[in-house]
Amino acid sequence: MAENKQSSLNLSGINAAIIMDGNGRWAKRNAINVTSGHEKGVDVVRKIVESAAKAHLESLSLYAFSTENWSRPKKEILGIKKLIISAIDSQVPELINQKVRLNFFGDYSSFGNDVVDAIEQAESVTASQESRLKLNIALGYGGRADIIEAAKLISTDVKLGKLPVEDISNETFFKHLKAPINELDLLIRTGGDHRISNFLLYHLAYTEIQFTDTLWPDFTEEEFIKCLEAFSNTERRFGKRTL
C-alpha cells in the first residue's frame, strides 16, 4: 500500500530535512550498545533515502552529527567514525545506481583524514551524474557556526570593497552559508523532543516542522510518507492573507 501511495507523491522542488534522533534510547531499550543503535540508524537512512527519491524530493538533508555532539564519549565518537566509513563504502554504489548526489556539510575534519578522504571520494563519484535526489549529510554541523562563518565571509568582502554594505541580502547569506540548500520546506524530528538542537537555523524561517515520538531506528518508510502527505496537505501562507 505504501508503494502505491508513494508513486502518487510528487514533491519536486521541495527541500526536506530530518533530525534523526533517538538512536541512544533505542539502544538502551533493546539492551545493546549505543554504537549498535547508530548502526541500526544507518539502515533506516538507506530506506528513507530510497523513499525520498521515489517521492521526487529535490533534496534531503540529514542531521547526522552536531557541533555539540563532539562532547560525547570518545568511544561513541570512534564508533560513529567507523560507521561513517563503512556506510560510505557499502552505500555509494547503491547511491550511484539510484542517481543520488551526495554532499556532506559541516566541519568534520576532527573525524580524521580517513573520513575526510572517504567523503571527498564519495562526493566526487556521485557528483557528475544527473541527480534524482540531492542527499546532504550534516556532519559536525551547527546552525550558529554556519551563520557566524557566513557573517565573517561577508564582512571580509565588505572590507575588501567587493560588496557594498547595502547590497547584503538574503541571497548573500544563502551564498555564504555552508548548508547546500536555500529555502527549507519541511523538517521532521524523530525521538520525541520538540527542539531544533542547532540545526539549519537560518533556513528554518518558513519551514513546516513535524515532530514524531518514533525513535529514529524505528522510523519507517510508511511513516515518512505520512509526513510527506501531511506536508503536501498544509496551506503555506508565508505571512500573506489568503482568506
Residues binding ligand IPE (CB under 6 A): 19-25, 63-66, 68-69, 191, 193, 195, 197
Determine, following the binding rule CB under 5 A, whether residue 185 of this chain makes contact with Mg ion: no
Determine which one of 15, 21, 23, 103 is catalytic: 21
Size of the site for Mg ion (CB under 5 A): 1
Give φ, ψ of 189 to 5 degrees: -120, 125
Residue 113 among the catalytic residues: no
Which residue reads 489568503 in cell numbers? 242
20 binds, options ligand IPE, Mg ion, none, Cβ within 5 to 8 A by partner type: ligand IPE
What does the alpha-carbon distance between residue 203 and residue 199 come to, in Å, rounded to a whole number? 9
- Of the pair 6, 207, the CB lying nearest ligand IPE is at 207
Q: How far is the CB of 193 from Mg ion (least distance, A)?
A: 7
- Of the pair 136, 190, the CB lying nearest Mg ion is at 190
Determine which one of 15, 23, 69, 103 is catalytic: 69
Confirm if 228 and 222 have CB atoms less than 8 A apart: no
What does the alpha-carbon distance between residue 193 and residue 207 come to, in Å, rounded to a whole number? 17
What does the alpha-carbon distance between residue 181 and residue 134 come to, in Å, rounded to a whole number? 10
Q: Identify which range of 16-24, 74-82, 119-127, 223-231 contacts Mg ion by CB under 5 A.
A: 16-24
Which residue reads 566541519 in cell numbers? 107
In this structure, how many other beta carbons lie within 10 angstroms of the beta carbon of residue 212? Answer: 19
Of 16, 89, 84, which is closest to residue 52 (Cα–Cα)?
A: 16
Confirm if 61 and 184 have CB atoms less than 8 A apart: yes
Q: How far is the CB of 185 from Mg ion (least distance, A)?
A: 24
- Of the pair 48, 102, the CB lying nearest Mg ion is at 48
Q: How far is the CB of 215 from Mg ion (least distance, A)?
A: 9
Determine, following the binding rule CB under 5 A, whether residue 21 of this chain makes contact with Mg ion: yes
69 binds, options ligand IPE, Mg ion, none, Cβ within 5 to 8 A by partner type: ligand IPE
- Of the pair 154, 188, the CB lying nearest ligand IPE is at 188
Determine, following the binding rule CB under 5 A, whether residue 41 of this chain makes contact with Mg ion: no
Q: Identify which range of 5-13, 21-29, 56-64, 122-130 contacts Mg ion by CB under 5 A.
A: 21-29
* DSSP annotation string for 107-168: --GGG-HHHHHHHHHHHHHHHSSPPSEEEEEEEEE-HHHHHHHHHHHHHHHHHTTSS-GGG-
Confirm if 220 and 48 have CB atoms less than 8 A apart: no
Q: How far is the CB of 15 from ligand IPE (least distance, A)?
A: 18
42: left (phi over 0), alpha (psi -120 to 50) or beta: alpha
- Of the pair 20, 44, the CB lying nearest ligand IPE is at 20
Residue 170 among the catalytic residues: no
Which residues are at the interface with Mg ion (CB under 5 A)?
21
Q: Which residues are catalytic?
A: 21, 69
